[in-house]
Amino acid sequence: MADSDALTHISLPDLIRLQADARALKLPSARPAKTRQAGLQRSPQRGRGMAFAEVRQYQPGDDIRSIDWRVTARRQAPHTKLYEEERERPVLLLCDLGPTLFFASTGAYKQVRSAQVASLLAWLALWAGDQVGGIV
């Protein structure tokens, strides 16, 4: 693509090439976290979650409310159910590429910059383990 085309249009390969730029970005976390969760995002809340992970032998300090009595009776030793936390942070990107952004004060058209920013945010969300959706 010529230099003038890169300022007025953006293609899928251009958006894919932005992966390298997104890797260099480091966004600050919004708040301190206490526990890890399934979506690789930190959560200030602790919880049992809903997804069953495994049954393991009871260890001192485990919550006695999570003892699996059927497995305990079968194996003649106390066993505990473990759950994975299920808190996801879906990301929905809205990108206006209408005629109102078909201008450039300096550099590229605002439509092109809007698509580039949406692409960078999508790559960041994907690497964080979040679901990404978008509306153009």
What are 78-122's pLDDT values in tens digits? Answer: 999 988 776 667 889 998 888 888 888 777 888 888 888 899 999
Structure tokens belonging to residue 61: 């300090």
Distance of CA 113 to the CA centre of its chain: 23
% of the chain with per-residue pLDDT over 70: 74
Please determine, for residue 123, whether its predicted confidence score (pLDDT) is greater than 80: yes
Structure tokens belonging to residue 136: 């153009």
pLDDT the model gives residue 124: 87
pLDDT the model gives residue 37: 47
For residue 88, count other CB atoms closer than 10 A to its CB.
14
Residue with tokens 């692409």: 119
Please determine, for residue 44, whether its predicted confidence score (pLDDT) is greater than 80: no
Q: Do residues 113 and 100 make contact, with C-beta atoms less than 8 angstroms apart? A: no
Per-residue pLDDT tens digits for 14-42: 888 888 788 777 666 544 445 444 455 55
Write the Ramachandran bin of 88: left for phi over 0, alpha for psi from -120 to 50, otherwise beta. beta
pLDDT the model gives residue 32: 47
The answer to which of 4-8, 32-36, 61-65, 124-128 has the lowest mean pLDDT is: 32-36
For residue 122, count other CB atoms closer than 10 A to its CB.
21
Radius of gyration of the chain measured on its C-alpha atoms: 23
Backbone angles phi, psi at 99, to 5 degrees: -65, -15
Residue 42 amino acid letter: R
The model's confidence at residue 53, banded by pLDDT at 50, 70 and 90, is: confident
